[in-house]
Chain A
């Protein structure tokens, strides 16, 4: 049995973010420093340090929220701690200079809910983030954990549970958006041969570049997922569950292990759960990081210990899943959404969101955005609200260009569509998809051909190779895109790209292959003129594709501002820069290999790319 919540209360609780983002920013050291200082001042009976899951505002980590009061301290270093402990926790004087102030504001904003990043968010899947210690089951229980399971086991029939989930309008949060209640109904109705075993599986194989929703949920509130799975198992008649999680998520794996052990100790997993005669337990299966294993049939193969390759559907896993038995696979976030739906009812949940997309969705906000982090917003919110109100806009005064949603399977949505409401249908209509929730923001310095090439190189790497369209098609598309970015593309290449894209979409075996062309198709649809600039004028409008750039040095800026500082010349690997210190420099075009290093290192803006 793990350490219990101390029976006597403290007067202050220091909620230190221990999500992976903050941990890599040394939040464990911050925690140790806080504990040391607290002891030094003899405050250990008054002030408690609580490690929590990801707070979401990763851009500002390591983060410390002081409760009660919700004082929000950010970007802390170990040397800030002695002053902070003495001033705020001993003397009661909050330290304004360690608080967050939004770029435009002059006065630091001390209270969490006054910060625009948090104000527009609605937390359902992330309901416990930053509020509980994920390694203490009692804290999860105090926030209502396992209440929904108790209700489902004692007051509801399996049919009633399924109808509640159906009426809530919950759809799969892994990307495709299949109605969850319907999937559960299929599994419930499926007849299992020999022995009647059925399975529930949690898909935590999060692989999209820049996506970390699932990891954060597992790290911040593992019990939400366990409870959701147990409710699902009761509804569908399953007695065993698997959580498939990437081994690259060591903190998530560890917290899941702790959570499963604590749940078993309490009899919330195992036999005769809560004395109701219901048996259910969960095992962790660690994935080795193959992107295709996020596809459900490949995931099942991997859980069974076979090569992680997809197979044709039907039969769907609901009919023939793990070891041929009916199996329900839902994403981490979907499972975490289930307990509140059971506790608070379908009507409450379906009151949030749009007519076809109910509830909330978690997004990871990355790329050229001020407030990098994890956000949960009601469906139907516009891209503008996410990017500007929550995300704080684009850094460095640059213009917003596009947002990539849905990872390598999704598409790029241009700035003209910034008022698009976020739901499954409008994202699909725009040529993208909800995906698991990665949102990569791009600014004016991004080349859309290069973006398409990047995603294709990713999917080409990750294609399992089982079916020809995906294996050979991604290679062919990648070759064409690479050619275009090197200035060797022709008009026919665009026609060929579109033809290949359509063929792969129509003929690939699994969801990975079918969606691989999306980044290419959407960039062709919205940014065709950029492709044409690369092909016809041999120019990259964003100056990203370096083979197409001509580098030159403005002699006036170089001498007047930089005094011929010599940094470019010293960094040039091909001796293509002339001139001595103080005299000004120039590029010898015949020797230039267009690596762009001079452009990157010039501190005075004297090197021009054209």
Chain B
């Protein structure tokens, strides 16, 4: 192992910081929530999650947060994801495939334009009684 220079130290910091940033959850560009209820998993949500992780990794987008949550209630249209760009209302996408999420990643997450063809709706459900 050759000795580190100050530049090397900075490089290690940058590299390791990517990993740490995700953990610490600070500011993010987008949060993608994969609905992982039993219905979602049966309909292929695991493959959707894997595809999203791959997209995120290959595009080097460290500020995209991937989370999972339960069934969103519309089991017939699983797999579903909810995309929430920072500061914007969440968008739900339904009946997804790996190809569709790749497209959503490119156009919505990276490009900022909602992919209307796959979108179910925008905004959150009302939670008040």
Contacts and interface: CB of A to CB of B under 8 A. Distances in A.
A138 B3 CA distance: 15
Contact of B20 (A92, A143, A273): A143
B126 interface: no
Contacts of B9: 141, 146-147, 150, 274
Ranked 10 nearest A-B pairs via Cβ: A68-B25, A267-B3, A92-B68, A142-B16, A92-B69, A67-B23, A11-B66, A138-B16, A91-B36, A8-B57
A525 interface: no
A138 B13 CA distance: 7
Interface string A82-99: 000000011111000000
A141 B36 contact: no
Contacts of B2: 267
A10 B20 CA distance: 10
B80 interface: no
Interface in A550-582: none
Contacts of A273: 3
B52 to A, nearest CB: 9
Best-surrounded residue of B9, B36, B57 (most CB of chain A within 10 A): B9
A521 to B, nearest CB: 47
A90 B68 contact: yes
27 contacts: A9-B56, A10-B19, A45-B50, A46-B53, A67-B25, A68-B23, A68-B24, A68-B67, A90-B36, A92-B70, A93-B69, A138-B15, A138-B16, A139-B16, A141-B9, A141-B12, A141-B13, A142-B16, A142-B20, A150-B6, A150-B9, A154-B6, A266-B3, A267-B1, A268-B4, A274-B4, A274-B6
Contacts, number: 113
Best-surrounded residue of B13, B37, B50 (most CB of chain A within 10 A): B13
A305 interface: no
Nearest to B18: A9
B23 A265 contact: no
Interface string A51-78: 0000000000000000111100000000
Contacts of B67: 11, 68-69, 92
Given A68-B25, A132-B20, 11 more contacts: A5-B16, A10-B19, A10-B22, A11-B65, A46-B53, A92-B67, A92-B68, A139-B19, A141-B9, A270-B3, A274-B4
A165 to B, nearest CB: 22
A9 B52 CA distance: 12
A9 B22 contact: yes
Nearest to A68: B25
A131 B3 CA distance: 26
B92 to A, nearest CB: 15
A6 interface: yes
A272 interface: yes
Nearest to A65: B23
Best-surrounded residue of A11, A15, A46, A131 (most CB of chain B within 10 A): A11
Contacts of B23: 13, 15, 67-68, 131
B7 to A, nearest CB: 10
Best-surrounded residue of B5, B20, B24, B67 (most CB of chain A within 10 A): B20
